[in-house]
Structure 1
């Protein structure tokens, strides 16, 4: 993970790298240095929130119940994992913390990843999860977990496909959300706008990248093998 600073000038985003780009590594990973895609995150430098601390320990409680592992031990494991992930950066969620909202979000993402990957039941922490964040919606789709209740889910199209042959639908242009059968019926009954207000989720859901669609086994028409951004 390479760090950089970004500056907005008119409609252009100019990125200044903290260190020179490794051209050989980039060519190995991306196959070319002429054109490639990057992911970037706008850092929220505000002090980590009490709500983030509550969510972190609620999720640790869920893992503790599932694994019979003491919460304090789990905390140290994820703090260490955060340090490894950030190349040595320390984190704290104490009242006196100097960690930022973005730092805490990175820690929470590591915990949520673990829970999805190992199918840890979301119980105490589920009501506190940030369902309006794209990352969480993506993980629900990836692991077929209902965005609303954590039950087994299917991929629901927010912009309804209707009776169209799904194999001929270009899914890269459609908005989706992982929903169980019960909530799938509900969103179609009360419509997406009312559903979004009731459960505090984005009315548009998310768009999945081509590789995610293929990994999920969603059949469809993938024009030019490209995803609209």
Structure 2
């Protein structure tokens, strides 16, 4: 439990990554009485949301509003924005991070995480979009993981097959049910894009759609019923 919160300034960063932080305590007598030793440090991102990130967020909120209300309106988008921001704060922010944020001046980190939350919401609720979601993702690896978890093609959003990336493929004649899949790199691709991937060098395919393979963990192996 956080007993007292204060703010400070980073005054130096050593080559080994050690921070020197200068902070004042509200009460020197209380500090001496409690004998503070350990503390939780939350580092704020000093960068502000970019215009590109803001456009992505409003594009995603617009798709959600249109799906929920049948039409996209300014009032509907404002309502969805307020609901989604609250859901994001409650479900994705830690207690130390949780605070009201504005899309006019929030940090790059908050904007990136909010974009990821909106994409997760769209994938989990089968919300159609006018644009490929990979074009809106700030964190491509996180996006591919979300597509894997929801069994959606990372290119078009259709139901997917599991494509094992180069270096993680299962040899000819091997029984997939007996082979361990944990740690193998994979992509979620529909049949059309799976065939496209096999029809060209994988590096070319990844570059075309700006994707990266993701290692299968316990959760993803369970989703696909794969041996770990």
Query: Which TM-score applies when normalising by structure 2?
Result: 0.71
**Are residues 1:209 and 2:217 paired?**
yes
Checking the alignment, whether the CA contact within 8 Å between 1:82 and 1:90 is kept in structure 2 is no
Checking the alignment, whether the CA contact within 8 Å between 1:55 and 1:129 is kept in structure 2 is yes
User: 119-128 or 48-57: which moved more?
Assistant: 119-128
Cα distance in 2 between the residues matched to 1:171 and 1:42: 36
Following superposition, the deviation at residue 123 of structure 1 comes to 2.2
For residue 124 of structure 2, what is the aligned residue in structure 1?
Answer: 117
Cα distance in 2 between the residues matched to 1:82 and 1:131: 16
Cα distance in 2 between the residues matched to 1:42 and 1:140: 30
For residue 197 of structure 2, what is the aligned residue in structure 1?
Answer: 187
Q: Secondary structure at the match of 1:170?
A: coil
Aligned residues: 190
For residue 155 of structure 2, what is the aligned residue in structure 1?
Answer: 148
Checking the alignment, whether the CA contact within 8 Å between 1:62 and 1:124 is kept in structure 2 is no
For residue 196 of structure 1, what is the aligned residue in structure 2?
Answer: 206
Cα distance in 2 between the residues matched to 1:138 and 1:17: 35
Following superposition, the deviation at residue 153 of structure 1 comes to 0.8
> CA separation of 1:83/1:167 partners in 2, compared to 1, >3 Å: closer, same or farther?
closer
> CA separation of 1:45/1:186 partners in 2, compared to 1, >3 Å: closer, same or farther?
farther
Q: Structure 1: where are the runs of 5+ without partners?
A: 21-40, 223-229
Q: In structure 2, which of residues 142, 160, 172 is the aligned counterpart of residue 135 of structure 1?
A: 142
Query: Which TM-score applies when normalising by structure 1?
Result: 0.71
Checking the alignment, whether the CA contact within 8 Å between 2:151 and 2:160 is kept in structure 1 is yes
Cα distance in 2 between the residues matched to 1:196 and 1:42: 33
Q: Structure 2: where are the runs of 5+ without partners?
A: 3-9, 19-36, 71-75
Following superposition, the deviation at residue 72 of structure 1 comes to 1.1
Q: After TM superposition, what 4+ stretches of structure 1 lie above 4 angstroms from structure 2? A: 7-12, 41-44
For residue 64 of structure 2, what is the aligned residue in structure 1?
Answer: 63
